[in-house]
C-alpha cells in the first residue's frame, strides 16, 4: 500500500527529513509536533499552555488536510520536558478532546531543543 505525505499549507519547515503527516489507507500518522509557527520560530516561550495549544492546532491542520477531524484521532503520544507541566497541558488538551478522548501516554523526555516544553504525535483513522 502506498503512502501520501500530508503537508498542510503554512507548515513550519521540518527540523529533519520527515513529513508533518503521512496517510496510508484510512490511517493518518502525524509526526511529533513542536510549537512552531510557519517560519519555524518558537511559539509560546516558557508557556506550556500556549505551546500545547499550538501543537494541537498543528495536529488538527494535518488531520484536516488528510480529510479527517480531531475526533478521528485514536492515539496520542505526549512528551513533556518537565512533568510539572502535566496539569496545565491537560487543561488545554481537554479542550480538544472533551468527549470520547483517544488513548494516549505521556512521558518526560528531553526534546530536540530546550525551549520546547511539549511534543505530541498522533494516529488517526478516517472513515
Question: How many domains, the chain?
Answer: 1
Q: What is the dihedral of CA 44, 45, 47, 53, to 10 degrees?
A: 20
pLDDT single digits (tens) 81-113: 999 999 999 999 999 999 999 999 999 999 999
Q: Helix 48-65 crosses helix 86-96 at what angle (to 10 degrees)?
A: 30
* Structural contact between residues 10 and 38, judged by C-beta atoms closer than 8 angstroms: yes
> Confidence class of residue 1 from pLDDT cuts 50, 70 and 90?
confident
pLDDT in tens, 21-73: 999 999 999 999 999 999 999 999 999 999 999 999 999 999 999 999 999 99
pLDDT band at 16, cuts 50/70/90? confident
Question: In angstroms, rounded to a whole number, what is the distance separating the alpha carbons of residues 59 and 21?
Answer: 9
* CATH number, position 63: 3.30.1330.40
Full domain range(s) for residue 42: 4-125
CA–CA gap between residue 123 and residue 78 (Å, rounded): 12
Grid coordinates belonging to 123: 494516529
pLDDT at 15 > cutoff 80: no
End-to-end CA distance of the chain: 17
Nearest to 82 by CA among 54, 50, 46, 57: 46
Round to whole Å and give the CA distance between 24 and 28.
Answer: 6
Which stretches within 66-102 are classed as H helix? 86-96
Amino acid at each position: 500500500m502506498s503512502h501520501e505525505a500530508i503537508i498542510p499549507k503554512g507548515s513550519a519547515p521540518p527540523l529533519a527529513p520527515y513529513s508533518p503527516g503521512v496517510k496510508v489507507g484510512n490511517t493518518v500518522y502525524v509526526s511529533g509536533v513542536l510549537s512552531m509557527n510557519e517560519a519555524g520560530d518558537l511559539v509560546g516561550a516558557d508557556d506550556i499552555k500556549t505551546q500545547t495549544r499550538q501543537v494541537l492546532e498543528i495536529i488538527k491542520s494535518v488531520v484536516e488536510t488528510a480529510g479527517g477531524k480531531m475526533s478521528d484521532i485514536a492515539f496520542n503520544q505526549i512528551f513533556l520536558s518537565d512533568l510539572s507541566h502535566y496539569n496545565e497541558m491537560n487543561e488545554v488538551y481537554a479542550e480538544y478532546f472533551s468527549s470520547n478522548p483517544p488513548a494516549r501516554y505521556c512521558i518526560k523526555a528531553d526534546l530536540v531543543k530546550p525551549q520546547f516544553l511539549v511534543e505530541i504525535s498522533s494516529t488517526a483513522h478516517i472513515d
